[in-house]
Amino acid sequence: MAYFMGIDVSTTGVKALLVDGQGEVAGTATTALPLSTPRPLWSEQDPADWWDGAVKSIKQVLQETGVSGEDVDGIGLTGQMHGLTLLDENGDVLRPAMLWNDQRTSEQCDEIREKVGKERLIQITGNDALTGFTAPKVLWVREHEPEVYAKAAQILLPKDYVRYKLTGEYATDKAGAAGTILMDLKTRDWSPEVLAALDIPLEWLPKTHEGPEVTGTITAETAALTGLKAGTPVVGGGGDQAAQAVGVGAVESGIIALTLGTSGVVFASTNEPFIEPEGRLHAFCHSVPGLWHLMGVMLSAAGSLRWHRDTFAPDVSFDDLVMAASSIAEGSEGLLFLPYLTGERTPYPDPYARGGFVGLTVRHTLPHMTRAVLEGVAFGLRDSFELIKAAGLEEIKQVRVSGGGAKSLLWRQILADVFTVELVTVNTTEGAAYGAALLAGVGAGTWPDVKTACAETVKQTGSTKPRIEAVGTYEEMYAYYRGLYPALMKITHGLSNF
C-alpha cells in the first residue's frame, strides 16, 4: 500500500503524519521544540532543532506504524509562516531564526511603507507591513547585524529549511512565499518592484512552487538518517493555514475554513486575488494551484475561554462550564465580552486593544459571563466574515469548523446563528499535516488534483444550521459589539501604560 507523509514544522513541535492511499491516518509522531525569547519582543528558534525534530518524528512514525520508508511515495511540508532563516553561501545558518511572533520590527515596517508606499504595497502583496512578516526581519538584520547580513546568500522559511535538509534544494511554496510580503500576489511569484525598493537580491530567494508540485527528492544522506527511501519526491506543500484548509476540504470559492483554536482563523478560498484595500485581511496564494485566499486572524479565540475558565472557575471542566451557559438566553441578558486579551489583528491590527465585559449587572452570574465569552468570540470572528464579503467574496456557501473550540455544540450553534450560515464538521482532525500529506498524494499521482483528493478523503460528520429565532437577537447585539472598540480605544490605549 502507498503512503504519504505530511511534515508540520510548527512553533511548538515537528509532527510527522502518515496517510494511506485512501486518506486514512496510519500514525503520527511529534517532537517538541524549544523557543527562545532572549529579549523583550524577540522570538527565536535554532533551525538545527527543526531538523533534529524532523528526523526524530519521521523515524518514530515509521517505527510505530511498521511502515517501511520504501512504501512512502511522497512527502508534503507545512508549518509556521513568516519566519526568517538566513544561510550563507555554503548553506550554513547565520543566526537563530526570527519567528512569526517576533515583534521587534515596527520601525522596519514603517520603513517599508515609506519606501514602497502603503497603498502600493497592499496592491502588490495583498498585505500591509506587519511585524510578523519576513521582509521587515530582513531589514532589521541589515540594520542591526550588518556583519551577519554581509554573509547572507539565502532566505528560507522554517519548513523550507527542513526541505533543504531533506532534499538539498532551495525551494518554497507559493502560499508561504506570499507571507513574506515580497511576492506579487497576482503573478504568484517574487515582486521585482518590492525587492528593488527594499534592496533585497532576488538570488537570495528560492524558486516558488505550487502546493502539489515536486520540489526535490530525498537524498541518500537523509534516507540513511530517517529510514525514508532515497529519491522519494517532496512537494511544495503550504503554509500552515493553507495546508489546514486542504486538510478540511476548503478548496473552492465560497467554502470557508474556520479554525477555533487558541487563536481564531477565518480562511476563505477565492478564484482570484481579492485584496482588502486597507490591508485588514491577509491576502495570500492558496496551496491549491490557481486559487488564492483571504484570511482574518483573531488572537484570543478559544484562548479567551481558557482565560475565563482558569481565572473564574479553575476547578470546573470546560464541558460543565459551557453546559451551564447553555441555560442562558441569546445575548446573555445584555452582557457583551470584548475578546482582545492579547491585543488584536483583524479587523484592528492593534497590540494595545484590550478585552472586557460591558453591561455587567448584579443579575449576571458565571454562566452569563461564559456565554458572553462564547458570543464575543463569535462576534469578533464575524468581523473577518464581513471584511471578506466586502472585499468581493459575496457568496459564502458553507463554513467548515475545526479546532478545540469546535467540539462544543453550544459554541457551534452560536457561531452558526451569528454568521447566519451552515457550519459543518469533518472527519479529519490532523489539520495542516493532513493537508500536506494530501498535497503529496496529488504530486505523486494518486489523486489527479487537490479538489479530488479532498472529495475522496474529507467527509462531513455534522451540520449546525442557524436558528431564525436567534438571528435577530444576535444582529442587534453584534451592532452594539461593533461600537465597543472605537468607543474604548483611547481609554484602553491609555490603560496600557499601566
pLDDT digits (tens, 9 = 90+) for 389-412: 998 877 788 899 988 899 999 999
Q: How confident is the model at residue 485, as a pLDDT?
A: 97
Of 30-34, 261-265, 446-450, the one with minimum mean pLDDT is 261-265
Q: What's the pLDDT at 260? A: 92
Q: Decide if 219 is inside a domain.
A: yes
Specify if 316 maps to a domain.
no
Cα 75 from Cα 5, distance rounded (Å): 5
Instruction: For residue range 461-481, list pLDDT tens digits in order.
Output: 999 999 999 999 999 999 999
DSSP assignment of 230-291, as one string?
TT-EEEEEEEHHHHHHHHHT--STTEEEEEESSSEEEEEEESS----TTS-SEEEE-SSTT-
Helix (H) or strand (E) holding 215: strand 214-217
- Distance of alpha carbon 29 from alpha carbon 365, whole angstroms: 43
- Give the DSSP H/E element, type plus range, for residue 172: strand 171-173
**What was the pLDDT predicted at 398?**
87
Task: Indicate the angle between helix axes 409-419 and 318-325, nearest 10 degrees.
Answer: 50
pLDDT at 471: 97
- 15 lies in a domain? yes
What are 322's three cell numbers? Answer: 459551557
Q: E strand or H helix at 435, and its extent?
A: helix 431-444
Q: Residue 497 domain-assigned?
A: no
65 in any annotated domain: yes
Q: Is residue 67 part of a domain?
A: yes
In sequence order, the 6+-apart residues with CB closer than 8 A to the CB of 462 are: 424, 425
Q: Which residues contact 33 (CB under 8 A, 6 or more apart)?
A: 10, 11, 12, 13, 14, 45, 49, 50, 53
Is 453 inside a domain boundary?
A: no
- The x, y and z cell numbers of residue 206, run together, are 528560492
Average pLDDT (103-123) is 96
- Return the active site residues: 240
Q: Per mean pLDDT, which range of 23-37, 122-136, 142-156, 381-395 is the poorest? A: 381-395
- The predicted-structure confidence for 41-90, as pLDDT tens digits, reads as follows 899 999 999 999 999 999 999 999 999 999 999 999 999 999 999 999 99
At residue 25, does pLDDT exceed 90? yes
Residue 417 in any domain: the answer is no
Percent with pLDDT over 70 in the chain: 100
pTM score of the predicted model: 0.92
Task: Give me the mean pLDDT over the 137-166 stretch.
Answer: 98
Residues 6+ apart with CB under 8 A from 417: 330, 466, 467, 470, 471, 474
The answer to whether the beta carbons of residues 240 and 10 sit under 8 Å apart is: yes
The answer to whether residue 222 scores a pLDDT higher than 80 is: yes
Among the ranges given (169-178, 183-192, 394-403), the one the predictor scored with the smallest mean pLDDT: 394-403
Confidence (pLDDT) at 149: 98
Mean pLDDT of the chain: 95
When pLDDT is averaged across residues 354-382 and rounded to a whole number, the result is 97
**pLDDT of amino acid 430:** 86
90: domain CATH number? 3.30.420.40
Where are the alpha helices (H) located in 150-200, listed in sequence order?
A: 158-167, 174-178, 192-198
Residue 128's beta-bridge partner residues? none
In angstroms, the CA 224 to CA 237 distance is 23
How many domains is the chain partitioned into structurally?
A: 1
* Structural domain range at position 173: 3-243
